[in-house]
A and B are shown apart, each in its own frame.
Chain A
Amino acid sequence: MKILRISALLALVSFFSAPAIAGTLEDVQARGFVKCGVTTGLLGFAAPDDSGNWKGFDVDVCRAVAAAVFGDSSKVEFTTTTGKTRFPTLASGEIDVLARNTTWTFSRDVDLGFEFIGINYYDGQGFLIPASLGVASATDLDGASVCIQTGTTTELNLADFFRANSISYESIPVETNDEARENLFAGRCDVYTTDASGLAATAAQADNPADWILLPEIISKEPLGPLVRHGDHVWGDIVRWSLNTMIIAEEKGLTSNNLDTKLAMNNDPEIFRLTGKEGEYGAMFGLSNDFGYNIIKQVGNYGEVFERNVGLKTPLKLARGLNAPWTDGGLLYSPPFR
């Protein structure tokens, strides 16, 4: 009897602990907030401000998703992830979306079972080095000690670059950007390599940013984008179109400030569809039709988010470059909203 009872109990336990396959959107709505994975702190991209609020370029992607789902961009819970923990954290369902300077590659997309929903920053791997070393090119780095975050694509690019140029280096592996910065500023390594945007953020935190230079070489393509788990297409679509909404809004000249006046004065049907004034687009993936309006109103368009967090007026001083809309010679190009 006892054995029977216990095995029945165990069977019950195993039944309930089998992963429940509800949609991510339903989970998020039931929970009341979006769980978002970000870096452990990268100025301009994801870092808590003085009062503990997360601010940054990647953070705003998650805020846009929250604005779309709840009409309230503050309904996000941020989880910090390192280069190593980010994929298991997403795969296990601990977070709903990962917005963490993650490079879109074939194997991550296909083999690891994730879905990149787009590219929110076109980046490339560079080298940050003290100006006092007098190095003009990355090919002069023979014998240098290089700080590198482990478990990243940059680690592999670094090995390839030095091999291709037949020069040697000593790799100093670190876990986080903060560790890399400490090691670099202490002189444990001569040079730090990661995405150029991350290098700009690192240099901006130096006592005197002018003491640091970026070498001219950009040794890789690093398309950075938010990603979600394979298999839940509705949720993937929601995150994708949250980002696309911001990109289209910039193309159309809609900002968080002028949105209401533009809507009143404009006759562009795409703007009407985007903001939910026309059509039932939000309802197609289970959101309210004005999800686009909420994103633009509360978070802003892509250009606003860029300038606010990493643009020329911030310590990072990043130019738009490849991250300008296609109409301005950049690569940002969203499919039409119809």
Chain B
Amino acid sequence: MFKIDFSDQKLRAILIQTLVVGVLAYAIFWLVQSTSYNLEKRDYKLGFGFLNDPAGFDISFSPFYSFVATDSHIKVYLVGLANTLLISFVGCIAATFLGFSIGIIRLSSNWLLSRLAYVYVEITRNIPLILQLLFWYALLINLPRLKNSIAFGEAFFLNNRGLNSPQPIFGDDFIYVTIAIILAITVSIVFSRRAKKIQEKTGKQYPLFLINTASILLFPAIVYFIAGSPLEFELPVLIGFNFVGGMKIPPEFMAMFLGLSVYTASFISEIVRAGILSVNKGQIEASRSLGLKQNRIMKLIIIPQAMRVIIPPLTSQFLNLTKNSSLGIAIGYADLVHGFGGITLNITGHAIEVMAIVMSTYLIISLTIAFFMNIYNKSIQMDGR
């Protein structure tokens, strides 16, 4: 007769795993079953047809599309997605720069500077993000009112409705300038690579930075003037209720930008500090004894090794920032959760479909960021020797 021998480790493992998978499958089955039962009972018909209905409401902050109330809910989604990506992108860049600076300052031998960085980190990372967002927003909407805007010349106006700035208007011939810029950058990259090879072979150094900057700045500038200065600026002018013309950054965006980058930067700075401290002290002493200057030690010895430690947790911080951007709803930033996940959901009542779309969108954004960061991470890992 077949007898189960529980002392057999392999068999036990298989049994336990089967059990766990079975329970999990049953739980999912039950969840789906009871949800569909309850939906049916409430006459709730799942479907995505509502996406084509006109939205009926307006979204004012839409820098990439023009949005009107007759547009469909799909467009609401796209506008929200664009705004989410925009704030995440600029937020990640600002947080990275700020975080690296603070992290390095924290390790500075200057007592005052490193204490200040310490205070910054402890304050910003220990106060809930949503409170910081509300703080920035309260600060910004208590700036001077429209009529008393802080003016910087005739071009920039700061008030409690945001920052108005001139808008560049590109003429048709500006395409030549664009081509010139791309050309100049390509040439500099090729030149840099060649110069590096020459340096590796012969030790001869070129003033790379100087040459590259000059070529990237000068060449397009010359083309710009030859093409007849095809760039004009439209200045904002106060007419009636608001500034007309120019570009406008609303306080909701500024508060989000400040809040997200300042908050995340404190975590990044700790990651950077950990990364730098993880580099063996002997490495620094060795490079000093070779006669390298402090900034060369940083650039050539410390940073490349620290990056291996920094990148994986930095990826998590980028993901956090992106997901935290959904807190924009608290201050009325028109992101994905606010417009599509909020107003559309409310008007159409299709909560399940809307939430499924919003959640899978965040999942896809996060996985994409993680994917590219992982590629970068692989590229800087130590080669096996």
Contacts and interface: CB of A to CB of B under 8 A. Distances in A.
A155 B57 contact: yes
B59 A10 contact: no
Contacts of B141: 182-183, 186-188
A159 interface: yes
A7 interface: yes
A107 B53 CA distance: 14
A116 to B, nearest CB: 16
Given A6-B19, A6-B23, A158-B58, 8 more contacts: A14-B30, A18-B34, A143-B240, A144-B240, A150-B342, A151-B343, A162-B58, A170-B242
B347 A173 contact: no
B26 A113 contact: no
B327 to A, nearest CB: 13
Interface string B127-138: 000000000000
A219 interface: no
Contact of B349 (A3, A111, A145, A162): A111
Contact of A14 (B34, B56, B332): B34
A7 B343 CA distance: 41
B69 A170 contact: no
Given A3-B19, A150-B346, A188-B160, A170 B240 contact: no
Contacts of A84: 342, 346
Contacts of A170: 60, 242
B241 A88 contact: no
B349 A2 contact: no
B26 A171 contact: no
Interface in A161-209: 162-163, 169-175, 179, 182-183, 186-188, 190
Nearest to B162: A188
Contact of A172 (B26, B332, B338, B349): B332
B347 A151 contact: yes
Contacts of B57: 155-156, 158-159, 171
Interface string A1-35: 01100110010001001110000000000000000
B87 to A, nearest CB: 16
Contacts of A162: 58
A5 to B, nearest CB: 11
A178 to B, nearest CB: 13
B142 interface: yes
A141 interface: yes
B249 interface: no
B145 interface: yes
A179 B329 CA distance: 12
Given A10-B30, A186-B141, A173 B239 contact: no
Interface string A104-125: 0001000111000000000000
A83 interface: yes
B195 to A, nearest CB: 51
A142 interface: yes
B43 A113 contact: yes
Contacts of B240: 142-144
Contact of A171 (B58, B239, B346): B58
A141 B23 CA distance: 61
A188 B42 contact: no
B342 A151 contact: yes
Given A14-B34, A111-B349, A173 B332 contact: yes
B277 interface: no
B58 A143 contact: no
Given A159-B57, A159-B69, A2 B19 contact: yes
The 6 closest A-B pairs by CB, nearest first: A151-B346, A159-B69, A144-B241, A187-B145, A170-B60, A156-B56
B59 to A, nearest CB: 7
B39 to A, nearest CB: 12
Contacts, number: 100
Contacts of B43: 113
Interface in B220-242: 239-242
A7 B241 CA distance: 66
19 contacts: A2-B19, A6-B19, A14-B30, A87-B346, A111-B349, A112-B349, A143-B239, A143-B241, A144-B241, A150-B338, A150-B342, A170-B60, A170-B242, A171-B58, A186-B141, A186-B142, A188-B141, A188-B161, A188-B251
Interface string B13-27: 000000100110011
Nearest to A112: B349
Interface in B276-319: none
Name the residue in A141, A158, A187 with the highest tally of chain B Cβ atoms < 10 Å from its Cβ: A187
A18 B244 CA distance: 57
B56 A83 contact: no
B332 A174 contact: yes
B56 A141 contact: no
Contacts of A143: 239-242, 244
A172 B60 contact: yes
A159 B27 contact: no
A169 B242 CA distance: 10
A163 B69 contact: yes
Interface string A143-155: 1110000110001
Interface string B36-60: 0110001100000000000011111
A160 B141 CA distance: 28
B334 interface: yes
B351 interface: yes
Interface in A261-296: none
A332 B26 CA distance: 55
Given A145-B242, A170-B242, A173-B334, A150 B60 contact: no
Name the residue in B58, B60, B240, B349 with the highest tally of chain A Cβ atoms < 10 Å from its Cβ: B58
A142 B244 CA distance: 12
A10 B351 CA distance: 27
Given A173-B334, A183-B141, A145 B343 contact: no
B107 interface: no
A110 to B, nearest CB: 10
Interface string A213-244: 00000000000000000000000000000000
Interface in B340-379: 342-343, 346-347, 349, 351
A14 B33 CA distance: 10
A220 B304 CA distance: 65
B346 A145 contact: no
Contacts of B59: 171
Nearest to B27: A10
